[in-house]
Amino acid sequence: MTGCHKNPARAQRREIMTQAQSFDYTRQDAAGASCTAQAWAKVPPSLTRDERAQWKSRAAAQLAAHDAVLVAHYYVDGDLQDLALATGGCVADSLEMARFGRNHAAHTLVVAGVRFMGETAKILSPDKRVLMPDLEATCTLDLGCPADEFTAFCDAHPDRTVVVYANTSAAVKARADWMVTSSCALPIVQHLKARGEKILWAPDRHLGRYIQEQTGADMLMWNGACIVHDEFKGLELELLRKEHPQAKVLVHPESPQGVIAQADVVGSTTALLKAVVDGSAAEYIVATDNGLMHRMRQLAPGKTLYEAPTAGQSATCKSCAHCPWMAMNALQGVVACLEQGSGEIVLDEAVRAKALTCITRMLDFVESHGAAPAGLVPHLGAT
Ligand code: SF4
């Protein structure tokens, strides 16, 4: 690479740019559900109140009949979250989902979320059957980091410790030294920096930059982004803050820099939830997938919540602050996968075994540092 030695920072920027993915997630002709339009088209139709009650009861019966437990992410439909809690499952972020599924005695895990979450469950619990309501539910961070290209990127930088975000395929995890979630990324990178390690980070560029700013670590970054969080807008957020000057601003670190810069709290979904429940403020502006609002409203019913602005009311699939792949999860899918045995996660054993190493390293780190770090990062005076 010409000029690398004369200007390392410029060379690094150039390397980052070479990793840009050009896939348009809003295109109409992509295969399967790998674009937002296809994903929205696969979202099951809304149900009436009676239908919801009937599907919930049918899903609960199927869970019991198959010795299954429902492990749901905060971003999925509220009915699924309620069903998980009512049937002994969990509603959590990806770190806690992984731990819950591993530790639970059920023979079958039904993972309501996106594919990498199902894969992580299978990596940790190879003897359990892992089902998903829709196997095509994916994630732009996962799609934007293909294993072959990522492996070549790693091979070109053998001096760096490879740290990948949970939102990656099993094959990408198999190439990594560490997996992190937004709950534990900061202490793990701090730990690696203290050991003098240089880091290769993938795939989310916003989270990576935030962690780099907080730790000062030497991080070479893949250029991925979450299509939902990438749409939060700094200027519109400033206007909303003027309308609600008492509101605390809670931001997930997959959001752009101009949004994070205005945050009172930057953190994982669990950390943002905790900030609302424990915070003394009465109003909060929340910059993350609006699926989290369901649990926030349940646990903090007296608080007023505002969704952080995306591209405006006229936008549909790209900037509605809701992940189309999370939206593909529905009660009907839970029933279908259990009744038919469909949507099973199957992994190549060699890939699974390799991917296990980086996940186990993360879980061991989290456990050896006491309770799971909540990812709560006081940024500008959080309450
Ligand atoms: S919200 Fe973003 S990071 Fe989460 S699954 Fe959807 S695309 Fe991926």
* Backbone angles phi and psi of 30, in degrees to 5: -70, 155
For the CA of 75, the closest atom of ligand 1 is 1
CA distance linking residue 274 with residue 235, whole number of Å: 26
CA distance linking residue 202 with residue 97, whole number of Å: 21
Is the CB of 172 within 6 Å of ligand 1?
no
Q: What is the pTM of this model?
A: 0.89
Render each residue's pLDDT in the chain as its tens digit; 383 residues. 333 334 444 444 444 434 444 455 554 445 566 788 888 889 999 999 999 999 999 999 999 999 999 999 999 999 999 999 999 999 999 889 989 999 999 999 999 999 999 999 999 999 999 999 999 999 999 999 999 999 999 999 999 999 999 999 999 999 999 999 998 999 999 999 999 999 999 999 999 999 999 999 999 999 999 999 999 999 999 999 999 999 999 999 999 999 999 999 999 999 999 999 999 999 999 999 999 999 999 999 999 999 999 875 444 444 579 999 999 999 999 999 999 999 999 999 999 999 999 999 999 999 998 644 444 343 432 22
- The pLDDT of residue 312 is 54
Taking each helix axis as running N to C, give the angle between helix 185-194 and helix 205-215, from 0 to 180 degrees, rounded to the nearest 10: 50
Nearest CA to ligand 1 atom 3: 226
CA distance linking residue 75 with residue 294, whole number of Å: 9
Which fold, 229-321?
Answer: Rossmann fold (3.40.50)
Tokens encoding 354: 């390799």
CA distance linking residue 129 with residue 123, whole number of Å: 11
Nearest CA to ligand 1 atom 8: 139
The alpha carbon of 228 and the centre of ligand 1 are apart by a number of angstroms equal to 6
CATH 3.40.50.10800 segments of the chain: 8-30+141-226+355-368, 36-139+326-347, 229-321
Chain-centroid distance of CA 54 in Å reads 30
8-30+141-226+355-368 under CATH 1.10.3720.10, yes or no? no
Cis status, amide bond into 253, omega within 30 of 0: no
The arrangement of secondary structure in 36-139+326-347, i.e. its CATH architecture, is: 3-Layer(aba) Sandwich (3.40)
Beta strands in the chain (DSSP E): 68-73, 90-92, 108-112, 129-131, 161-165, 178-180, 199-202, 219-221, 248-251, 265-266, 283-287, 304-307, 377-378
- The pLDDT of residue 94 is 87
- The pLDDT of residue 319 is 56
* Backbone angles phi and psi of 124, in degrees to 5: -80, -25
Is the CB of 167 within 6 Å of ligand 1?
yes
